[in-house]
Amino acid sequence: RKRVAILISGRGSNMSALIEAAKAPDFPAEIVGVLSNRAAAPGLEIAAANGIATASLAQSKFLSREMFEDTMTQLLEGWEVDFVCLAGFMRILGEDFVNRWMGRLINIHPSLLPAYKGLHTHERALADGVAEHGCTVHFVTPGLDEGPAILQARIPVLPGDTPETLATRLLVEEHRIYPEALRLLATGTARL
Ligand code: GAR
């Protein structure tokens, strides 16, 4: 089984979906570590309760983003990971880190990329009056939210939807496609 680390900043519901999926004996990857840039991220406790190694690193404690990211790479190398999954990791990663892990680094983003890169995707989709919204699991490349998609899921925008209702319905799809995308990556079916 491939060794996978998950990078989080908060709640960790996508992380939990990956952890649960990886419990199946036929899943091609195991989650060996969870790293957060916030010590207070609730997802860290969930990971620890599942017997997974955890670590947190505050970027503010480092002199530069490069030093912060080099330390992340050292931790990931210590866990001997094959792949890294960003799951609600709310820091933009620098080019050195991305290049170091390119092809082995994926992210989930709450929009139908290339639409709505960046933040506040549900608000912006609703403001535009789109009929469909969705989520994307994609390879991470140096341009923000620009790497090739591995899987997408679509949902209809319903009358009366708010950013919250849309986010809640979309999260169900995120939790479905992220484990599927990791399966494709770990088996070599999806490649950059
Ligand atoms: C998820 O909706 C994820 O798609 C989004 O943050 C949420 C994290 O929730 N990611 C981004 O916006 C990345 N720019 P989670 O911590 O419960 O998985």
List the residue whose alpha carbon is closest to atom 17 of ligand 1: 13
Contacts of 159 (CB under 8 A, 6+ apart): none
Q: What is the pLDDT along the chain (192 residues), one digit of tens a residue?
A: 999 999 999 999 999 999 999 999 999 999 999 999 999 999 999 999 999 999 999 999 999 999 999 999 999 999 999 999 999 999 999 999 999 999 999 999 999 999 999 999 999 999 999 999 999 999 999 999 999 999 999 999 999 999 999 999 999 999 999 999 999 999 999 999
Residues with CB under 6 A from ligand 1: 8, 10-14, 87-88, 108-110, 171, 174
The per-residue pLDDT for 34 is: 99
List the residue whose alpha carbon is closest to atom 1 of ligand 1: 88
Pairing outcome for strands 105-109 and 132-139: antiparallel
CA of 94: how far to CAs of 101, 123, 140, 171, in Å? 11, 27, 11, 27
Distance 138 CA to ligand 1 centre (A): 13
Tell me which residues are annotated as active site: 109
Distance 110 CA to ligand 1 centre (A): 7
* SS3 state at 48: helix
Whether the ipTM is more than 0.90: the answer is yes
The per-residue pLDDT for 70 is: 98
Tens of pLDDT, residue by residue over 49-82, are 999 999 999 999 999 999 999 999 999 999 999 9
Other CB atoms within 10 Å distance of the CB of residue 8? 29
Binding-site residue positions: 12-14, 65, 90-93, 107
The per-residue pLDDT for 56 is: 98
Asked if residue 61 lies in contact with residue 108, where contact means CB atoms within 8 angstroms, the answer is no
Distance 15 CA to ligand 1 centre (A): 10
Ligand 1: residue of 31, 108, 168 to mutate (most ligand atoms within 8 A of CB) is 108
List the residue whose alpha carbon is closest to atom 16 of ligand 1: 12
Distance 108 CA to ligand 1 centre (A): 7
